[in-house]
Structure formats: C-alpha cells, structure tokens
C-alpha cells in the first residue's frame, strides 16, 4: 500500500489529495512509497519481548548512579544529572541554542573510557567543528557522525561503545527500511523507537533534538514525547534562555535552568536573582510580582497596556500568564474597584520572556492593569504577592518567605501581602492587604510611612 505524507505537517494518508486533510496546506502531499519490512519486524519484536513476570519485592528498585554533566543548570532540570539509558527529547525553536547546549554537554561528559557520539543530520562536520572552536572544545573523546542514516548510527554505537549519544535532530533521521521522508510521522516514530530501545539495551543516555515552531512541533512529534523518559524545552527571549522539563520519569518537572547565550556559548546563570527585572517598575502599567519556579523565587515585571478598544469586543491578550486568570482578575477588578474595562483592550506581558502558572502573580497583574488604566505608575520599590479569590479577597501565597527574601535582596522597599501569609523581613516593610478594595489604600499607606 502506498502512503502519502504531507511535507508540512507530516500527516499520512493512503489516498492522495491536493490539500492535506490535517493541516489544510495545498500541494504538500507527497508519495512516500511503500512501507516494507514493517510487518516482519513487529513479529520478531513481539516474540523477543516475552519474559516472565517477577515479584514486586524482587524488582530492582535501585537507581543507577547519575553522571553529572558539569552544567549545573542542566543537571538540576534533569533531576540531578544524566541517568544511564535515559532517553531525552530536547525541543525548542530553531536558533534557540539546542545544538550548542548538546555540544557543550557532550564535550563535558565524554571521557577516555566512555566517548560521546554526536550525530548531526543537519550540519557538516566542519560547521560543528567551527562551533566547537567557538565553545573552546578540545576533547579527543567526542566523536562526530554527520549522517541521517539510522543504520550508520547503530554501526557506530557498536564500534565506539559511547557513554552518551546525541541525535541532532530526530527530524533529520531516517531508517532506510521505512520508505518515507525524514521528518514524517512514520520515520520519527520508527527512529525514536529504535533509538530508545538502543538506549535501554546499552544503558546509553540518549538526547534527541527536536525542532519546534511557535505552533508546536514540526510534523507533530507528540509521539516522540510519549516514547522518551524526559522532555526538555528550551525557550526564551534575547540572550536569556530557560530550560524546562515538561515530563521527567527521573525527577520533578519543577525546576528550570537559566542560561545566557554569549559569543562563546551558553553560560549558566546559577543565581538568576533579578535577571528578569528591567528597571521598568516606575512606568505606568507595570507592577512587580514574585513567582516561584521549583525552589527558586524570581521577581518579575508584569507589564500591561490598557487602551480604548477600536472594535466591538475588546481584546484580552496575555503573554506568559494564564489568560483565564487574567479574565478572572479583570472581572474581580470591575466588581470590587468599579473599574469599567468593557471598552478597553488589555494586553499583558511578563517581561523577559517568562511564563508561569503561579497564581501568586494575580495581585501584581491586577495592580498593573489598574496602573495602566489610570496611566499612573505605582510607587517605586513595591512588590505585590497574592492570589486573588473570586470574592476579591487576597490569599496568601506559597513560600512567601522566599519571595519576600528575594525582594529584600534586590533592594525593594515594601511588599504587599495577605495578612495570613507568614513572612517577615528586616530590610523592608510588609504591608497587609486583605481585600482588593483595599489595595490602593495599602499601596499609598506604605509610601507615606
């Protein structure tokens, strides 16, 4: 049976059509030929996997020792280092720094006993070497294979017995047994399955790079996400990059890693305190809040733009903050501060490319919108911490002490907080706000004192 693959989204059908039924693109369906050898392989794999069940208590529950990559931020996000046999997907938009991070990691983990194998199906050895020079990589134990052919990869694993494998990228890999284009669903499914199996059989930690567009992954490697142990996403704005685990069978998905891209590669920012602040806090429409990512607290500038709406339905746009929480905050503002936003567009942004689901930013969001609406800046040096309830009540936030400490450390003068939150500080003033209706009185009272 012939199959047809959309070159845009990777959708596969058995019938040709002028328009892809999945993504709607025109003239993108290509004949990918016949799939051969698939049935046969399935059978042998099934018969090989017959084993006996073992008692729960006898199962080996011990974790194999992790290898530290020497890049602390990466180790933290992985849950404490690289686990033998783990399969990791590293996703991110083109140009974000995936290849750079992988090369830096591979060069550090490579050792005489266990070399690292870096497979690139996208760049030439010369390009990668040039990048390596920029990064100051000089190790002899790092091997480059510039091929998209899965069989070449398997041969080199058997020959070199590496202690780490990087595939850059999974979209460039091809199993010649499957007659469809690299990047198509069937190739990615097939290549990922083989590589994950290899990883497990050889205790070989394997990192698969996957390209993501703004709308999601090219050719939908959601399947890849399901097949690997850990999914990391690399994202960010400008020089600052954030590494985040979206799924992790070997650790939590709480922690983030912060990096800065410089001329000589990615540098970790082990103390990202204040790095997301841009000194905007005296502009109208800006309020400073505190958010937690794993065990670290960050202060963040919430920016809002409130302008008269030019069309019937006003726009609500939120970047980095849950749009539903913004809607709730606006409704609560209308009800308890009698601010009518029905004729206004509201745009909200967390400065520095941050993104969070932490409800502790609610109070800062509300204050930013009011400040934007009135075109009046909030007093300098103020941090707002609080979750908003539907009744307009300000709820205490988790780990308030950490957030307050961060504010004190960065020289802020006052923190607004629910009276039920447990936090104190020597260097700054803590102002209690119980209800949204008292927010501006609290802000002003703090200033006068």
List residues near Mg ion by CB under 5 A: 99
Spatial separation of the C-alpha atoms in residues 232 and 214, rounded to whole Å:
16
User: With the C-alpha atoms ordered 131, 137, 140, 143, is the resulting torsion angle positive or negative?
Assistant: negative
Q: Which long-range contacts (CB under 8 A, 24 or more apart) does 427-432 make?
A: 428/404, 430/404
Cβ of residue 137: shortest distance to ligand TYD, in angstroms?
10
Question: With CB under 6 A, what is the number of residues at the site for ligand TYD?
Answer: 15
Side-chain half-sphere exposure of 84, counting CA atoms within 13 A = 10
Q: Which residues of 185-196 are buried (b: 16+ CB within 10 A; e: fewer)?
A: bbbbbbbbbbbb
Alpha helices in 203-322 (DSSP H): 222-227
Q: Which of 11, 69, 76, 99 binds ligand TYD (CB under 6 A)?
A: 99
Spatial separation of the C-alpha atoms in residues 390 and 385, rounded to whole Å:
17
Give the residue carrying structure tokens 């709480």: 254
Q: Which of 210, 265, 285, 386 binds ligand TYD (CB under 6 A)?
A: 265
- Among the residue ranges 8-16, 45-53, 172-180, 259-267, the one whose residues contact ligand TYD (CB under 6 A): 259-267
Work out the angle at residue 98's Cα, subtended by the Cα atoms of residues 208 and 77, and round it to the nearest 5 degrees.
80
- Kindly tell me which of 212 and 407 has the beta carbon lying closer to ligand TYD: 212
Partner from ligand TYD, Mg ion, none binding residue 204, C-beta < 5-8 Å depending on class: none
Q: What is the chain's Cα-based Rg? A: 26
- Among the residue ranges 191-199, 263-271, 293-301, 379-387, the one whose residues contact ligand TYD (CB under 6 A): 263-271
- Among the residue ranges 128-136, 137-145, 349-357, 421-429, the one whose residues contact ligand TYD (CB under 6 A): 128-136
Spatial separation of the C-alpha atoms in residues 77 and 73, rounded to whole Å:
6
Work out the angle at residue 95's Cα, subtended by the Cα atoms of residues 93 and 99, and round it to the nearest 5 degrees.
95
Q: Are 403 and 341 in contact (CB under 8 A)?
A: no
Partner from ligand TYD, Mg ion, none binding residue 236, C-beta < 5-8 Å depending on class: none
- Determine, following the binding rule CB under 6 A, whether residue 137 of this chain makes contact with ligand TYD: no
Partner from ligand TYD, Mg ion, none binding residue 323, C-beta < 5-8 Å depending on class: none
- Determine, following the binding rule CB under 6 A, whether residue 104 of this chain makes contact with ligand TYD: no
- Determine, following the binding rule CB under 6 A, whether residue 97 of this chain makes contact with ligand TYD: yes
Q: Are 98 and 209 in contact (CB under 8 A)?
A: yes
Cβ of residue 100: shortest distance to Mg ion, in angstroms?
8
Q: Which of 263, 343, 357, 390 binds ligand TYD (CB under 6 A)?
A: 263
- Determine, following the binding rule CB under 6 A, whether residue 94 of this chain makes contact with ligand TYD: yes
- Among the residue ranges 6-14, 47-55, 68-76, 129-137, the one whose residues contact ligand TYD (CB under 6 A): 129-137
- Kindly tell me which of 78 and 103 has the beta carbon lying closer to ligand TYD: 103
- Determine, following the binding rule CB under 6 A, whether residue 66 of this chain makes contact with ligand TYD: no
Please give the DSSP secondary-structure letter assigned to residue 389: P
- Kindly tell me which of 101 and 364 has the beta carbon lying closer to Mg ion: 101
- Kindly tell me which of 1 and 263 has the beta carbon lying closer to ligand TYD: 263
DSSP 175-231: -TTB-S-TTSHHHHHHHHHHHHHHHHHHT--EEEEEEEETTEETT-THHHHHHSSEE
- Kindly tell me which of 261 and 442 has the beta carbon lying closer to ligand TYD: 261
- Among the residue ranges 225-233, 258-266, 360-368, 403-411, the one whose residues contact ligand TYD (CB under 6 A): 258-266
Cβ of residue 128: shortest distance to ligand TYD, in angstroms?
10
Partner from ligand TYD, Mg ion, none binding residue 107, C-beta < 5-8 Å depending on class: none
Q: Which long-range contacts (CB under 8 A, 24 or more apart) does 134-137 make?
A: 134/263, 134/264, 134/265, 135/100, 135/103, 135/104, 135/107, 135/264, 135/265, 136/264, 136/265, 137/103, 137/104, 137/107
Q: Which of 232, 261, 367, 370 binds ligand TYD (CB under 6 A)?
A: 261
H helices, E strands: number in the chain: 11, 22
- Determine, following the binding rule CB under 6 A, whether residue 96 of this chain makes contact with ligand TYD: yes
Spatial separation of the C-alpha atoms in residues 47 and 59, rounded to whole Å:
22
- Among the residue ranges 10-18, 131-139, 359-367, 431-439, the one whose residues contact ligand TYD (CB under 6 A): 131-139
Beta bridge partners of 300: 289
- Kindly tell me which of 136 and 176 has the beta carbon lying closer to ligand TYD: 136
- Kindly tell me which of 211 and 403 has the beta carbon lying closer to ligand TYD: 211
Assign 116 to helix, strand or coil: strand
- Kindly tell me which of 99 and 206 has the beta carbon lying closer to Mg ion: 99
Q: Which of 68, 131, 152, 296 binds ligand TYD (CB under 6 A)?
A: 131
Alpha helices in 28-136 (DSSP H): 38-48, 72-78, 98-109, 125-134
Q: Which of 92, 148, 221, 290 binds ligand TYD (CB under 6 A)?
A: 92
- Kindly tell me which of 127 and 252 has the beta carbon lying closer to Mg ion: 127
Contacts to ligand TYD by CB under 6 A: 92, 94-100, 131, 134-135, 261, 263-265
């Amino acid at each position: 049976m012939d199959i047809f693959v959309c070159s845009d989204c990777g959708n596969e059908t058995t019938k040709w059509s002028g328009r892809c039924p999945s993504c709607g693109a025109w003239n993108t369906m290509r004949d990918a030929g016949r799939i051969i050898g698939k049935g046969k392989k399935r059978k042998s794999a099934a018969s090989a996997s017959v084993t006996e069940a073992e008692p729960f208590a006898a199962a080996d529950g011990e974790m194999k020792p992790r290898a530290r990559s020497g890049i602390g931020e990466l180790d933290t996000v992985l849950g404490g280092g690289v686990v033998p046999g783990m399969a990791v997907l590293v996703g991110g938009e083109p140009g974000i720094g995936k290849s750079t991070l992988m090369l830096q990691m591979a060069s550090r983990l490579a050792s005489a006993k266990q070399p690292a194998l870096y497979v690139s199906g996208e760049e030439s050895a010369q390009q990668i070497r040039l990048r390596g020079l920029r990064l100051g990589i000089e190790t002899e134990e790092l091997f480059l294979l510039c091929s998209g052919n899965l069989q070449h990869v398997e041969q080199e694993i058997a020959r070199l017995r590496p202690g780490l494998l990087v595939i850059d990228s999974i979209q460039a890999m091809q199993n010649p047994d499957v007659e469809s284009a690299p990047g198509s669903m069937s190739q990615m499914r097939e290549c990922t399955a083989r590589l994950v199996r290899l990883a497990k059989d050889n205790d070989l930690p394997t990192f698969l790079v996957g390209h993501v567009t703004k709308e999601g992954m090219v050719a939908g490697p959601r399947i890849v996400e399901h097949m690997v142990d850990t999914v990391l996403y690399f994202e960010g704005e400008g020089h600052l990059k954030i590494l985040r685990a979206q799924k992790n069978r070997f650790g939590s998905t709480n922690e983030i890693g912060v990096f800065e891209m410089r001329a000589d590669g990615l540098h970790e920012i082990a103390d990202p305190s204040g790095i997301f602040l841009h000194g905007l806090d005296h502009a109208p429409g800006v309020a400073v809040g505190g958010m937690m990512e794993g065990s670290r607290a960050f202060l963040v500038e919430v920016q809002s733009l409130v302008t008269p709406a030019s069309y019937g339905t006003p726009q609500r746009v939120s970047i980095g903050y849950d749009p539903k929480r913004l809607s709730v905050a606006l409704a609560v503002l209308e009800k308890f501060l009698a601010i009518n936003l029905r004729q206004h567009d509201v745009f909200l942004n967390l400065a520095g490319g941050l993104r969070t689901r932490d409800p502790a930013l609610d109070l800062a969001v509300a204050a930013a919108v009011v400040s934007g609406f009135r075109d009046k800046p909030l007093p300098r040096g103020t941090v707002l911490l609080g979750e908003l309830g539907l009744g307009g009540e300000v709820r205490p936030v988790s780990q308030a002490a950490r957030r307050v400490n961060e504010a004190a450390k960065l020289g802020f003068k006052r923190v607004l907080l629910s009276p039920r939150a447990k936090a104190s500080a020597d260097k700054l003033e803590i102002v209690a706000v119980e209800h949204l209706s008292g927010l501006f009185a609290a802000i002003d009272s703090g200033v006068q004192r």
